[in-house]
Chains A and B, each alone.
Chain A
């Protein structure tokens, strides 16, 4: 499957991740991986989503943009989907720990 990355800036509420992952589940969009990093004081977070690069991607972006806690949505075609694999390889090997503030979760998280 061809994948691409979406970058979101979100309000950092306890329910924000549920809203985002729930949206993917109920609209039957593909979500392969998530990376979420709190920004600055922690009022907002940046989220990277690894998603299927399909015609419905535009609809995914529009639906994400409608979520109240999602402040911005943009495609990051400049980033390689390998980023997540490298991240995983890194911490599995214990060689390069992921940035301490970063948390990664699967779509179920």
Chain B
């Protein structure tokens, strides 16, 4: 059978189980779009390639499986770059397929030629420039295998146009790419870990996003109950532990709660699971958990010892390691430590007015949101104050229930990621919480959303500012505000209607929560423009570079320290 590169690529994606791809065509990728037209794969046409990248991320973050985005050469590829880098920082499996000018033109500065291979090197797990149709048979399954193996991440495949049009006598199809098995864990390491835990007086479990990708959330929760140790979470692990677990301490670090950061000062055994000791979590790393013996469980060997040297490290799959550990570990009691944990938690609970007093208080609204949407909803955020308020106050009730751009912190993530989440979880309520700054960064995808007619609600927490910039200028630059206030205030509801989506602006003086609830109850997409008070801050806040015990808290600007 004679078949061209584009048909090979299409069939390989079908065999890989890909049902939906997001992209935007241009000249060099047209042979592939020609083949895609007669494929079972649904194509979501975006309005900017970054939207395609974040839609793929939304799908991947929802399912845990590698998703695909497409772009043509040159600007198509460069527009994908932010979404690919974002996937790399958050370890999200994705295969980014770009077309390239024909090989005969590579290196000639041809029209829409850019060195995609070079651009993708530092922001992918691995990347390919495919040189023949035959190579596709090897590269495409391998790309999926790499993206989904070990610590997941994005893989870029750049395909020159002549590879898509070139033909091949096809023999057999290769097997689809599958994740590799994780390295085995030695029993004596499990024993050593169990002994350390048994000996510890004040253990704390510290979860990172790896616990979500390893599907180890339930076992991490069981570990907390079994050994009666408090459990803290990074931004990326929110949702791993149900918010009603008494020993769950929420987020640590820069915008973590006071109780959590204080408690970490007292631990004698820190059990890190799928966490990478990111500076937003640890504050000044040298002063993080100063009295603790550290155990580090991670699938990526390079993370072990990168920031903090552990006393014991276990390199492998968190789900497997916790399963083995729990099989040998008897229940333990730590009444004093539990008492201390609950005492700190009660003393430093997040303070916010009730919904009756101030329904649109940013923190209060994030807490109230949970009562306005079904418990299996998926919330996506953009980046900024609203993101941190959600992280602090919205009770994420299941793993993958919060999709947020953690490592790279890309504004513009929320809307396309919500579209991707909705595509991957049909019928579920998806809510994108965003800001008036972030929404502007991929607002063109409202057109994509309108076409797809998905149950995605966009709620803009609108303070007409780059709020987190304003907050930093207030706290660290002597209130010399510059370039953080938007002079013009777009009518976002009218913009949504212009795209063919329901758009409403909330009147803060007329039972705003009832208005929001009414809009959320109606089917289909909606954009809700919600005014919030200017100048509200995300607190507590650890100043960048400071130790976590140094927190700026309420009352504002007073430093508190344990």
Write the residues of chain A forming the contact surface with B, with a CB cutoff of 8 angstroms.
Answer: 14-15, 18-19, 22, 26, 58-59, 62-63, 65-69
Known A-B contacts A22-B121, A26-B122, A68-B146; A15 and B129 likewise in contact (beta carbons under 8 Å):
yes
> Considering the chains assembled together, what is the distance between the CA atoms of A14 and B118 in angstroms?
11
Q: Is residue B301 within 8 Å, beta carbon to beta carbon, of the partner chain?
A: yes
| 7 A–B pairs (Cβ distance < 8 Å), ordered by A | A15-B117, A15-B127, A22-B121, A58-B305, A59-B305, A62-B306, A66-B300
Residues of B within 8 A of A15 (CB): 117, 121, 127, 129
Compute the total of residue contacts between A and B using a CB distance below 8 Å: 31
> Considering the chains assembled together, what is the distance between the CA atoms of A59 and B307 in angstroms?
10
Nearest chain A CB to B456 CB, angstrom units = 36
Contact B302 A63, beta carbon cutoff 8 Å: yes
Residues of A within 8 A of B305 (CB): 58-59
Q: Is residue B398 within 8 Å, beta carbon to beta carbon, of the partner chain?
A: no
Nearest chain B CB to A40 CB, angstrom units = 20
Q: Is residue B125 within 8 Å, beta carbon to beta carbon, of the partner chain?
A: yes
* Neighbour of B122 across the interface among A22, A59, A62, A69, CB < 8 A: A22
> Considering the chains assembled together, what is the distance between the CA atoms of A65 and B150 in angstroms?
13
> Considering the chains assembled together, what is the distance between the CA atoms of A79 and B125 in angstroms?
31
Nearest chain B CB to A12 CB, angstrom units = 14
Residues of A within 8 A of B304 (CB): 62
Contact A66 B302, beta carbon cutoff 8 Å: yes
> Considering the chains assembled together, what is the distance between the CA atoms of A52 and B58 in angstroms?
41
> Considering the chains assembled together, what is the distance between the CA atoms of A14 and B121 in angstroms?
13
Which residues of chain B in 290-308 are interfacial with respect to chain A, using CB atoms and an 8 Å cutoff?
300-302, 304-306
Write the residues of chain B forming the contact surface with A, with a CB cutoff of 8 angstroms.
Answer: 117-118, 121-122, 125-127, 129, 146, 300-302, 304-306
Closest 7 CB pairs of A and B: A62-B302, A68-B126, A22-B121, A26-B122, A63-B302, A62-B301, A66-B302
Chain A contact residues: helix, strand, loop or mixed: helix
* Neighbour of B121 across the interface among A19, A58, A65, CB < 8 A: A19
* Neighbour of B302 across the interface among A14, A18, A59, A69, CB < 8 A: A59
> Considering the chains assembled together, what is the distance between the CA atoms of A67 and B300 in angstroms?
12
Apart from A18-B118, A59-B302, A68-B125, list 15 A-B contacts with CB within 8 A.
Answer: A15-B121, A15-B127, A18-B117, A18-B121, A19-B121, A22-B122, A59-B305, A62-B301, A62-B304, A62-B306, A65-B302, A66-B302, A68-B126, A68-B146, A69-B126
> Considering the chains assembled together, what is the distance between the CA atoms of A100 and B416 in angstroms?
54
Residues of A within 8 A of B118 (CB): 18
Residues of B within 8 A of A58 (CB): 305
> Considering the chains assembled together, what is the distance between the CA atoms of A14 and B135 in angstroms?
14
> Considering the chains assembled together, what is the distance between the CA atoms of A18 and B125 in angstroms?
14
> Considering the chains assembled together, what is the distance between the CA atoms of A15 and B130 in angstroms?
11
Nearest chain B CB to A35 CB, angstrom units = 22
> Considering the chains assembled together, what is the distance between the CA atoms of A63 and B118 in angstroms?
18
Q: Which residue of A lies closest to B304 (CB)?
A: A62
Residues of B within 8 A of A14 (CB): 129
> Considering the chains assembled together, what is the distance between the CA atoms of A22 and B305 in angstroms?
22
Nearest chain A CB to B225 CB, angstrom units = 34
Residues of B within 8 A of A69 (CB): 126
Residues of A within 8 A of B302 (CB): 59, 62-63, 65-66
> Considering the chains assembled together, what is the distance between the CA atoms of A12 and B548 in angstroms?
46
Nearest chain A CB to B169 CB, angstrom units = 24
Residues of A within 8 A of B127 (CB): 15
> Considering the chains assembled together, what is the distance between the CA atoms of A15 and B119 in angstroms?
12
> Considering the chains assembled together, what is the distance between the CA atoms of A65 and B151 in angstroms?
14
Residues of A within 8 A of B306 (CB): 59, 62
> Considering the chains assembled together, what is the distance between the CA atoms of A18 and B122 in angstroms?
10
* Neighbour of A65 across the interface among B125, B126, B301, CB < 8 A: B301
> Considering the chains assembled together, what is the distance between the CA atoms of A14 and B122 in angstroms?
16
Q: Which residue of A lies closest to B146 (CB)?
A: A68
> Considering the chains assembled together, what is the distance between the CA atoms of A67 and B302 in angstroms?
11
> Considering the chains assembled together, what is the distance between the CA atoms of A26 and B119 in angstroms?
13
> Considering the chains assembled together, what is the distance between the CA atoms of A15 and B117 in angstroms?
8
> Considering the chains assembled together, what is the distance between the CA atoms of A68 and B304 in angstroms?
19
Q: Which residue of B lies closest to A21 (CB)?
A: B121
Nearest chain B CB to A62 CB, angstrom units = 4
Residues of A within 8 A of B125 (CB): 68
Q: Which residue of A lies closest to B118 (CB)?
A: A18
